[in-house]
């Protein structure tokens, strides 16, 4: 779909339109849809570039941001960067990070849910334990268990960032295998 915008309209308004489309399709047509959009362009000649961006946003959103129904090209962040990496470089990265240790792909669902919730709470142990309904020491034990198996202490920002990127790279590699 191509939408003509007034000069004063912003990305926030485009986001609202996209969210409205998703909500309407979900409630009225009972369809599970995704909407993505590229950058706002002024010239008709730039329309194909915006279309390609929207197409990439749709695919990157499906791979890295499955919970989101609306994806904007300009908000894809690290997912867009990983999406453009060749598979061989992804494999080298994973091998360098884990070097024979347990790859996050092999982790149980409980550990992955714990780590994802920990990341959602900005590495805050107290808030994460409260939201998971577990004792703080239980959460610390799970994090230390992950540290022993992976070599990364996700309580430290650098290790947490490395682990998060590794999870995203592994997700991308799974996508490449299954397409």
User: For the whole model, what pTM was predicted?
Assistant: 0.83
Q: How far separated are the first and last CA of the chain, in Å rounded?
A: 25
| Whether residues 74 and 93 fall in one domain | no
Q: What is the pLDDT of residue 67?
A: 87
Q: Do you know the residue count of the chain?
A: 179
Non-local (6+) Cβ contacts of 76 within 8 A are 56, 57, 60, 61, 64, 65, 83
Q: What is the pLDDT of residues 62-95, one digit of tens each?
A: 999 988 999 999 999 999 999 999 999 999 999 9
Is the residue at 30 inside a domain? yes
Is the residue at 113 inside a domain? yes
Q: Which of 172, 171, 167 is nearest to 114 (CA)?
A: 167
* Angle at alpha carbon of residue 104, lines to 98 and 110, rounded to 5°: 145
Domain count, the chain: 2
End residue of a domain, out of 47, 81, 115: 81
Domain enclosing residue 54, as ranges = 11-81
| Whether residues 103 and 160 fall in one domain | yes
């Amino acid at each position: 779909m191509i939408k003509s915008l007034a000069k004063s309209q912003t990305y926030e308004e485009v986001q609202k339109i996209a969210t409205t489309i998703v909500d309407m399709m979900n409630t009225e047509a009972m369809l599970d849809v995704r909407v993505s959009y590229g950058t706002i362009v002024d010239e008709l000649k730039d329309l194909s570039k915006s279309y390609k961006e929207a197409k990439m946003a749709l695919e990157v959103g499906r791979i890295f941001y499955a919970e989101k129904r609306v994806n904007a090209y300009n908000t894809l962040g690290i997912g867009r960067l990983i999406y453009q990496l060749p598979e061989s470089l992804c494999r080298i990265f994973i091998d360098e990070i884990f070097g024979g240790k347990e790859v996050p792909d092999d982790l149980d669902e409980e550990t992955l849910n714990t780590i994802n919730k920990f990341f959602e709470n900005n590495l805050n142990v107290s808030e994460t334990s409260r939201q998971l309904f577990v004792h703080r020491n239980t959460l610390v034990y799970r994090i230390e268990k992950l540290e022993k198996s992976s070599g990364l202490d996700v309580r430290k920002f650098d290790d947490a960032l490395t682990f998060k990127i590794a999870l995203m790279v592994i997700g991308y590699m799974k996508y490449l295998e299954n397409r």
